[in-house]
Amino acid sequence: MTASPMTARDRQPLAGLSTLDRFLPVWILAAMASGLLLGQAYPQLGAALDRVQLAGVSVPIAIGLLWMMYPVLARVRYDAVGKHTRDVRVMTTSLALNWLVGPVLMFVLAWIFLPDLPEYRNGLVLIGLARCIAMVLIWNSLAGGSRELAAVLVAVNSLFQIVTYALLGYLFLNVIPGWMGAETTTLNVSMGSIARSVGIFLGIPLLAGYITRRVLVGARGETWYEDTFMRRLGPTALVGLLYTIVLMFAMQGDRILASPVDVVRIAVPLVVYFILMFGSALLLSRTLGFGYEASASVAFTAAGNNFELAIAVAIATFGIASGEAMASVVGPLIEVPVLVALVYLARWSRSRLF
């Protein structure tokens, strides 16, 4: 097979990212720093934020959690879910990677790299259970994957999380560690508390996103919705994420400043996870005979995670000042540069493996 020549976009995939998305690690670092400074300037901020709560989360933070999820879920093309589900092999492969391989791999890596830090380990487990969401559509598009298939896989995973996240969370946080003889009494996490968090912080924005798309596409058409409405609404998800990070770090400032090495220890298993998930998914898809576009979509949706959901569940279940919350917020800081590197790897593989 003759290798196709690399185009300018192959060599510079970052050119397809908006300024906001291209510098996401910078914005996250700036939000972290702002939060630390805010916490030092106003040490009583945490108590003030916790005065009014929703499902165990202070209302100002709950607003940020809901908002960072809503634009992302309003972008999902729910009407496309049935179009690609007829390809049984592709759908089965994606579901197996997302709901069997991914959670198990993150669980194993968390225990290997963080055996002495159960709170951070739990945070990584929550990330591993929160499967791909709309941000993965950007990486898939930059890599030249199938946009329709990626949209379908994101939609399926969004719906799947409503049904399975609470059960899997209870299984991987309480049941399996107990089988291993690990201490679980300090966790005290019920499936009901996780289900409540998922129902509020995924269910509400999912319903709102679905209704928004259904109503506005029906009234104004798909082109206006994508090119005008979502172009304005979409970037506000980042505002919600950064707002939440600022408040989280304002409340965790003393803990973070006292243990910067912990951030590095959280980052290492995340980097390993992204590389292993992407590489194994891409090679498996190629072995099964999928074309490049389908293989890239399967690989990116397998490697990507819904950090917004992980952050929301960590805060709602364990508290904003918990190690679980801190681990979940490190996730997007690591994901962006690693996934950008994987975009280059995917385009390189296109001319050599496919």
CATH number at residue 218: 1.20.1530.20
Give the pLDDT confidence score for residue 186 in this predicted structure.
44
Note whether residue 213 is domain-resident.
yes
134 vs 116 pLDDT, higher one: 116
Calculate mean pLDDT across residues 49-74: 76
Domain hosting 288: range is: 18-353
Q: How many domains does the chain have?
A: 1
- 135: pLDDT confidence band, cut at 50, 70 and 90? low
pLDDT digits (tens, 9 = 90+) for 143-166: 888 877 887 787 788 778 777 888
First to last CA, the chain: 8
335 vs 253 pLDDT, higher one: 335
CB 164 within 8 Å of CB 191: no
Note whether residue 344 is domain-resident.
yes
Is the pLDDT at 134 greater than 80? The verdict is no
Note whether residue 125 is domain-resident.
yes
Ramachandran area for residue 282 (φ above 0: left; ψ -120 to 50: alpha; else beta): alpha
Is the pLDDT at 3 greater than 50? The verdict is no
Give the pLDDT confidence score for residue 185 in this predicted structure.
40
Is the pLDDT at 183 greater than 70? The verdict is no
pLDDT digits (tens, 9 = 90+) for 186-221: 445 566 766 776 777 778 888 898 899 999 999 999
Note whether residue 3 is domain-resident.
no
Cα separation, 129 vs 175, in Å, equals: 15
Q: What's the CA dihedral at 217, 221, 223, 224 to 10 degrees?
A: -80
Ramachandran area for residue 56 (φ above 0: left; ψ -120 to 50: alpha; else beta): left
pLDDT digits (tens, 9 = 90+) for 283-304: 999 999 999 999 999 999 999 8
Cα separation, 148 vs 130, in Å, equals: 21
Give the pLDDT confidence score for residue 123 in this predicted structure.
93
Q: How many C-beta neighbours within 10 Å does residue 159 have?
A: 15
Give the pLDDT confidence score for residue 269 in this predicted structure.
96
Q: Hey, what long-range contacts does 179-188 have (CB within 8 A, 24 or more apart)?
A: 183/118, 186/118, 187/118, 187/122
- 48: pLDDT confidence band, cut at 50, 70 and 90? confident
Cα separation, 350 vs 339, in Å, equals: 16
Q: Name the nearest CA neighbour of 312 among 186, 234, 155, 203.
A: 203
- 2: pLDDT confidence band, cut at 50, 70 and 90? very low
| Distance, C-alpha 72 to centroid of its chain | 11
Note whether residue 9 is domain-resident.
no
pLDDT digits (tens, 9 = 90+) for 272-286: 999 999 999 999 999
pLDDT digits (tens, 9 = 90+) for 100-110: 999 999 999 99
Helix axes 147-170 and 191-198, enclosed angle (nearest 10): 150
Note whether residue 7 is domain-resident.
no
Cα separation, 116 vs 119, in Å, equals: 9
Is the pLDDT at 320 greater than 50? The verdict is yes
Note whether residue 2 is domain-resident.
no
Note whether residue 242 is domain-resident.
yes
